[in-house]
Amino acid sequence: MEKLKLAEILKNKHILRLCIILFIGVLLLAFGGNTGKKAKPDIAQDVPSMQPYAETERRLETILSKIKGVGDVEVMLTYDGTGKRTYVKETERTQSRAEAQSSSSESISVLVPEDAPVLEAEVYPKVRGVIAVAEGAGSASVREQIVLALKAVLEVEEHRIGVFAK
């Protein structure tokens, strides 16, 4: 009885087409989406992480708090841009001379799992400005010591450093 109802439903061309399309869609979802390869890294992953920046701020807070009269201190750094990462790539060079033909080839072989890119260099951006908030910054001499320390470590001009009392 149920087979007869199914046969009658499938006689309608629109319903038959819809069933075929649904069946193909289910097959594509089940087997077509996974090729076994990992996706290439996103652009967002190509930007250096914020971890080194936070670590720099933490180290500055630790060392500044050891200066006599500074007390508890918090530091915030601003940067000029986001930095840059350079990856190793295979290169090939050909040299030719008028007298004799010579060719040379340079190749870099690095064993990396699953064709992951190899980081060659990471350039961090320059510090653009600094804010330091310290308990002892009410004193002009302590403020001056903080500014001198930040100038020395970060190579930032004095007018880009702000020191404030907590």
Question: What integer pLDDT is reported at residue 40 of this predicted model?
Answer: 47
- pLDDT at residue 56 is higher than 60: yes
User: In b/e form, how buried is each residue of 68-84, taking b as 16+ CB within 10 angstroms?
Assistant: eebeebebebeeeeebe
Please report which confidence band the pLDDT of residue 59 belongs to, taking 50, 70 and 90 as the band edges: very high
Give the pLDDT confidence of 15-47 residue by residue, as tens digits. 778 778 888 888 888 777 655 555 444 444 445
CATH of the domain spanning 43-165, picked from 3.30.300.30, 3.20.20.70, 3.30.70.100, 3.40.50.300:
3.30.300.30
> Residues 41-62: what's their mean pLDDT?
70
Question: What integer pLDDT is reported at residue 33 of this predicted model?
Answer: 60
List the domain boundaries for the chain. 2-32, 43-165
Give the pLDDT confidence of 78-107 residue by residue, as tens digits. 988 877 878 777 655 555 555 455 555 555
- pLDDT at residue 55 is higher than 50: yes
Give the pLDDT confidence of 110-160 residue by residue, as tens digits. 555 666 777 778 788 888 999 999 999 999 999 999 999 999 999 999 999
Q: What distance in Å separates the CA atoms of residue 92 and residue 133, rounded to the nearest whole number?
A: 53
Q: Tell me the backbone φ, ψ of residue 91, rounded to 5 degrees.
A: -125, 155
Q: Is 0.85 topped by the overall pTM?
A: no
Please report which confidence band the pLDDT of residue 54 belongs to, taking 50, 70 and 90 as the band edges: confident
Q: How far apart are the first and last CA of the chain?
A: 84
**Is residue 153 a contact partner of residue 60, using CB atoms and an 8 Å limit?**
yes
Query: Between 165 and 19, where is the model more confident?
Result: 165
In 3-state terms the chain splits into helix, strand, coil percentages (rounded to 5) of: 45, 20, 35
